[in-house]
Chains A and B, each alone.
Chain A
Amino acid sequence: EGQLLESGGDLVQPGGSLRLSCAYSGFNFNNDGMNWVRQAPGKGLEWVSAISGDGNYRIYTDSVKGRFTISRDNSKNTLYLQMNSLRVEDTAIYYCGRFSSIYYSYDYWGQGTLVTVSS
C-alpha cells in the first residue's frame, strides 16, 4: 500500500521561507505526476503546483508563481515545495497527492502539514 508523508510545516512570519517535504513509499512513484494541494482553515481545496515524473515539467497556480518552487528527488522518493516570500494568505494545510494518469485524479494523499504565516 502506497503512503505519502508530509513534513516541514511551521509558524513563520510574513516574508519568510519554508521547505515542505513529502516522502512517498510503498511503490514506485517515479513515473507519476505529483501535486501539492492546500486547504486554508475552514475552507475548500486549492490546487497549488504539479510536477511530472521526471521533474522536467512544473506548473503553479498564479498566486504562488515566482514565490514557490516544486521539485522532486526520485532517488530519495521525496517531493518538495520551497515556499519563499510567504504571505498571510498562504496559511493552510498543505497536502501532497499523486495524480493518477489512469483516473485523472488524486488516488493517494498525505495527511497534510500545517503552514501558518503570521506575525
Chain B
Amino acid sequence: QSVLTQPPSVSGAPGQRVTISCTGSSFNIGAGYGVHWYQQLPGAAPKLLIYGDSNRPSGVPDRFSGAKSGTSASLAITGLQADDEADYYCQSYDNSLSASAVFGGGTKLTVL
C-alpha cells in the first residue's frame, strides 16, 4: 500500500490529453511538500519529468505539466505520442515518516 495513491492505469489515443492523479494526505502533499513526477520507460531507469509541483527540467517538452491542490496533485500530458507509453510515478515527502521520501504506486500509460 503506497502512501501516495495513483490509478494503476490510464490510456489515450495519439494526440489526446490524459491526466494522472496523485492523492496524498495532510502529512505529505497537504503539508506543503513539493510533488515530483518521474517517467519510467520499459527497461530503463526513471527520469525526472516535473519537480516542485509544476516545474519542468531542461529538455522536458511542454506537453508535460504538473499541478497541485490541497492534498492532491496531477500530471497532464497533451498531444499524446506513442513513445509516451511508460510508467509514471509521483513522489513527495511525509511528516509522519520522519520526512521520508514517498512514492505513488505508479500508473501505466497506454497509448492506444
Q: Do A and B bind each other?
A: no
Q: Which residues of B contact A (CB under 8 A)?
A: none
